[in-house]
Amino acid sequence: MSGPIPDIFANMVSLAHLYLFEAGLEGGIPSCFGNMSNLVDIYLNKNNLSGELSELMMNLSGPIEDNLQSLDLSWNSISGSFPNMSRFSSLTWLVLNTNQLNGSIQEELGIGSNFFGGIITEVSMSKLSQLQVLDLSSNPSLIVKFSPHWVPPFQLQSLRLKHCRSGPDFPLWLKTQKQLIAFLLWFAGIARNLLYLNTSNNQIIGVFPYSALRHSLGTVLLDLSRNNIFCSIDFLCHIKHLLLLDLSDNNLSGHIPNYFTQIERLKYLNLVNNNFSGKIPHSFGSLSALSLLHLRNNSFLGELPTSMAYCTNLVMIDIGENRLTGKVLAWIGEGWPQLKVLILRFSEFYGCIPSNLCGLAKIQVLDLSSNKISRVIPNCLCGLPLNKSCPEDEPRPDSNSSNSALSKEDAKDDGFISEGFYIALGLGLIVGFWGIVGTILLNKAMQYAFVEVMNTVEDFVYVRVEITKARLLRRFKNG
């Protein structure tokens, strides 16, 4: 079928569903369609329809107005401005993208991927009680301005507001949308000043709109964890001041790009429980400020890059449950002097445990289980599950001092405490408490930042729990 829509449909008074997409149709919509009272769905997308949208919609005047639920005119050559649609009381699905629409929307619904401008308010939506899909995206001149107290008459399933001017305030009316499945939102007005973004523990599914972060040059905290996001993480190359990055517990896959030289200030990186594969990039070695690195439960393979020896501030590294292989590198004992927790379990490392690990003076948790490592244990290693006790676990001789029951480790930790210490502690509490807490109380942005930073304490607590557990095991062994 090609050419204009034929008039034969005028006799099909009982027709309910009309699907004529990709049929080579030209011209407009016949006026006879307006009398087809049973017509519920009209799909004319991907044709060559032309003319003014307002004229096409006038041909749908009549009994059809009360029953029409779906109208798809996308991918045509329709032009003109957006008409009044309030007379279509049952309309739930309207698609007009990829046409030549323009003009200003004053009081009516706007549709994505066109050239709309003006302001759209809640007045435009007041009669659309059956609306389920709303797409206002890719209209950079369109201003979406709803009252913060507005309660919509509809329950959306899909909402797209990217690349339109919907900020800078968060749309509070979204709290009323209990059936929302697909949601895409971007505030173009606040992107450049965005310091932290936390969308963790939600039900976000699909591709994250990383293009929205390209201009967020000042972002320092980014937490997208515990969702179901799958996309490339190339957007990280545009965020050069990141201190914390948490992408854990998602569905991210593929190789990690080799661009970490551009975010060398990063202190915390968590990619746990994803589907990343390939080798760990050599650019990790440029992360000299990195303290915590979590790569557990992915599909990384190959050897650890020797460049990671330059990550001298690492306190904890967990790269277990991957397909990493090779010998346990000797430089680990020399390159990571601050390391307290090293977890390489359930991987494919082999060979002997290098004696250089004895150089990890602060190590308290060393997990090499479920690898192919030989049973030769360096003499410097001690503590459970080994039979050799650590020096600090040996009981001390009795002393008349009230602190004689302390272990050597505890005595060493408390050796610096003196009267001057308590005086300095009191002054420090007074000055520090009001200096920090006062700033937080007076600055709302600081309040949010404080809460965000406190959320990262979770992993540090995990480190301390592991350390405490190791100490208790040693003490129970010694009775």
> Same structural domain for residues 374 and 409?
no
CA–CA distance, 178 with 288 (Å, rounded to integer):
45
Residue 182 counted as domain residue: no
Predicted local distance difference test score (pLDDT) of residue 430: 61
Residue 443 counted as domain residue: yes
CA–CA distance, 307 with 258 (Å, rounded to integer):
12
CB of 283 closer than 8 Å to CB of 306:
no
CA–CA distance, 82 with 57 (Å, rounded to integer):
10
Residue 376 counted as domain residue: yes
CB of 178 closer than 8 Å to CB of 157:
no
Predicted local distance difference test score (pLDDT) of residue 324: 93
CA–CA distance, 417 with 172 (Å, rounded to integer):
52
Torsion angle, alpha carbons of 348, 460, 362, 342, to 10 = 0
Q: In terms of C-beta density within 10 A (0-12 exposed, 13-18 middle, 19 or more buried), how is residue 401 classed? A: exposed
> Same structural domain for residues 363 and 421?
no
> Same structural domain for residues 252 and 330?
yes
Bridging pattern class, strands 253-255 and 228-229: unpaired
Predicted local distance difference test score (pLDDT) of residue 177: 80
Predicted local distance difference test score (pLDDT) of residue 385: 66
Task: Select from 381, 416, 442 the last residue of a domain.
Answer: 381
> Same structural domain for residues 361 and 272?
yes
Whole-number average pLDDT of the chain = 76
Residue 159 counted as domain residue: no
**Low-confidence spans in the chain with pLDDT less than 70:** 1, 103-118, 124, 127, 138-141, 162-164, 166-170, 181-194, 203-204, 206-218, 375, 382-387, 391-479
CA–CA distance, 210 with 173 (Å, rounded to integer):
24
Range of the structural domain that residue 437 is part of: 391-477
> Same structural domain for residues 202 and 317?
yes
Number of domains in the chain: 2
Start-to-end CA span in the chain (Å): 90
**Amino acid letter, residue 120:** I
Q: In terms of C-beta density within 10 A (0-12 exposed, 13-18 middle, 19 or more buried), how is residue 5 classed? A: buried
In degrees rounded to 5, what are phi and psi of residue 19? -120, 105
> Same structural domain for residues 339 and 419?
no
> Same structural domain for residues 204 and 324?
yes
Residue 313 counted as domain residue: yes
> Same structural domain for residues 284 and 373?
yes
Crossing angle (nearest 10°) for helices 444-455 and 419-442 = 120
> Same structural domain for residues 350 and 421?
no
- The string of DSSP codes covering 210-259 is GGGGTT-TT--EEE--SSEE-S--GGGGG-TT-SEEE--SS--EEEPPS-
Predicted local distance difference test score (pLDDT) of residue 295: 95
CA–CA distance, 62 with 34 (Å, rounded to integer):
5
Residue 87 counted as domain residue: no
> Same structural domain for residues 209 and 321?
yes
> Same structural domain for residues 219 and 353?
yes
Residue 206 counted as domain residue: yes
CA–CA distance, 60 with 367 (Å, rounded to integer):
71
Task: Select from 354, 381, 408 the last residue of a domain.
Answer: 381
Predicted local distance difference test score (pLDDT) of residue 270: 94
Look at residue 420 and give its three-state secondary structure. Answer: helix
Residue 48 counted as domain residue: no
Task: Select from 381, 412, 447 the last residue of a domain.
Answer: 381
Predicted local distance difference test score (pLDDT) of residue 420: 58
Which residues share a beta bridge with 49?
27
> Same structural domain for residues 199 and 312?
yes
CA–CA distance, 452 with 222 (Å, rounded to integer):
10
CATH of the domain at 341: 3.80.10.10
Is the peptide bond preceding residue 83 cis, with omega within 30 degrees of 0?
A: no
